[in-house]
A and B are shown apart, each in its own frame.
Chain A
Amino acid sequence: MPGALPDIDLRRYRWIRNGVVVWMTAVLLGAFLLDIPRINILEHTARNLYFHVPMWFTMMAAFFVSAYHSFRYLQTEAPVRDVRAEQAAVVGALFGILGLLTGMMWARFTWYVGTGKWWNFDPKQTMAAVQLLIYGAYFVLRSSIEEPRKRARIAAVYNLFAAVTLPFLLYVLPRQMESLHPGAEGNPAFSDITHPIMRLVFYPACIGFIGLFWVLYTQRVRMTLVRKRLQDHLDPEPAL
């Protein structure tokens, strides 16, 4: 059913893509050029606030976009919703992996200096890894079901459950324990040591990375829709 696959608004896509490119360039410049206070242990790595933290915000945004489309799939059964849910989860997982790796790099040369530790089971680190495993299972689940409609429906239900665990694993549980991450012991997310000037770059960085997610995600959706069209065109017989 070729008519069932809607087009992407390419004009809007290009505007946002170009905007993201310019915006992120400005964020990068601000991240390195803006003077920030030096803190013991942290030193310049405080600048990682502009890179490491937005990874997680972007991952959460991506997974919620994915969950939204899974929810809509269950309502409408439109194949495009399944495509969008899957691709948002793929790009979200990319940002999650980058969040873990950047966090490892950051901690290794600040709090774990002299210990040689790359991984220390910090509560938030551990929960984030669990979260990624939960989404890893989403992809395994998808690839294990052959029949497209069944796969889309079951994956959508699983995806909604996966999204529900997200706030608990990334916010509720880590805050009950001692952690390197701010927010532990009931503090708000920004700790006292975050100089106000850093918000000037931090918030734009979050917006920029979420924009970058949107660009990558839309590219993937376009590609998958082309693939489906090709499939319908060359082989109109099978399901979907």
Chain B
Amino acid sequence: MTIHPLHTLPDSTQAGLSTPYDSVWATAGVPTAEPVGLERVMLAEDKLYVVLAVVLIIWAGVLVFLFRNDRRLARLERRLEQGTPPEPGTHLD
């Protein structure tokens, strides 16, 4: 599918901020079938939940990182306590 540059304004009934932009994917064929399953949830509220899901993915990624660092720190502390040097090298954990 291609994003076509804008040529003509659509004769939209509701003129507003978005009017000139509505035509851009006019050729793409907006699905009209009733969404089912996961899509019913994600397409609700003008698809705002998709943005929420994207933000949650990023948040989860940062959390994974946080917990890995935590584990790494705990290992360092344990080594410091026991007086055993870490393995040579700079492996991730």
Please list the residues of chain B having a beta carbon within 8 angstroms of any beta carbon in chain A: 1-3, 5-6, 16-19, 21-22, 24-26, 28, 30-31, 33, 35, 39, 42-43, 45-48, 50-51, 53-55, 57-58, 61-62, 64-65, 69, 72-73, 76, 79-80, 83-86, 88-92
Q: Report the separation of the CA atoms of residues A158 and B50 in the bound assembly, to the nearest whole angstrom.
A: 38
| B42 with A109: CB separation less than 8 A | yes
Residues of chain A with a CB closer than 8 A to B65's CB = 91, 94, 216
Task: Give chain A residues whose Cβ lies under 8 Å from the Cβ of B6.
Answer: 192-193
In the assembly, what is the distance between CA of A108 and CA of B85, in Å? Answer: 48
Write the A100-115 contact mask toward B (1 if CB under 8 angstroms, else 0).
0110011011110110
User: What are the nearest 8 A-B pairs in CB distance?
Assistant: A37-B18, A235-B85, A234-B85, A43-B46, A43-B47, A114-B31, A44-B48, A98-B61
The complex places the Cα of A230 from the Cα of B58 at a distance, in Å, of 33
* Chain A minimum-CB-distance residue to B53: A105
A223 touches B72 (CB 8 A): yes
Q: How far is the CB of A77 from chain B (nearest CB, A)?
A: 15
Contact A39 B22 (CB under 8 A): yes
Q: How far is the CA of A212 from the CA of B58 in the complex (A)?
A: 12
Interface residues of A in 215-231 (CB under 8 A from B): 216, 219-220, 223-224, 226-228, 230-231
Verify A223–B88 contact, CB threshold 8 A: no
Contacts of B18 in A (CB 8 A): 37-39
Given A94-B65, A230-B85, list of 12 further CB < 8 A pairs?
A: A38-B22, A39-B22, A40-B30, A41-B28, A51-B51, A83-B90, A97-B61, A98-B58, A113-B31, A178-B2, A191-B3, A233-B85
Contact between chains at A151 and B53 (CB < 8 Å): no
* Contact A223 B73, beta carbon cutoff 8 Å: yes
| Interfacial chain B residues near A235, Cβ < 8 Å | 85
Q: Which of A123-131, A164-172, A179-187 contacts B (4 or more CB under 8 A)?
A: A179-187
Which A residues touch B89, using CB under 8 A? 146, 148, 151
Task: Please report the number of residue pairs spanning A and B whose Cβ atoms sit closer than 8 angstroms.
Answer: 156
Give me the interface of A with B, judged by CB distance under 8 Å. 28, 31-32, 35-45, 47-48, 51-52, 55, 82-83, 86, 90-91, 94-95, 97-98, 101-102, 105-106, 108-111, 113-114, 139, 142-143, 146, 148, 151, 178, 180, 182, 184-185, 187, 191-193, 195, 212, 216, 219-220, 223-224, 226-228, 230-231, 233-235, 238-240
Q: What's the Cα separation between A110 and B58 when bound, in Å? A: 19
A195 proximity list for chain B (CB < 8 A): 17, 21
Q: Which residues of B contact A48 (CB under 8 A)?
A: 50-51, 54
> When the two chains form their complex, are residues A220 and B80 in contact, meaning their CB atoms are under 8 A apart?
no
Partner of A230, one of B42, B54, B76: B76
A52: B residues at CB distance < 8 A: 54
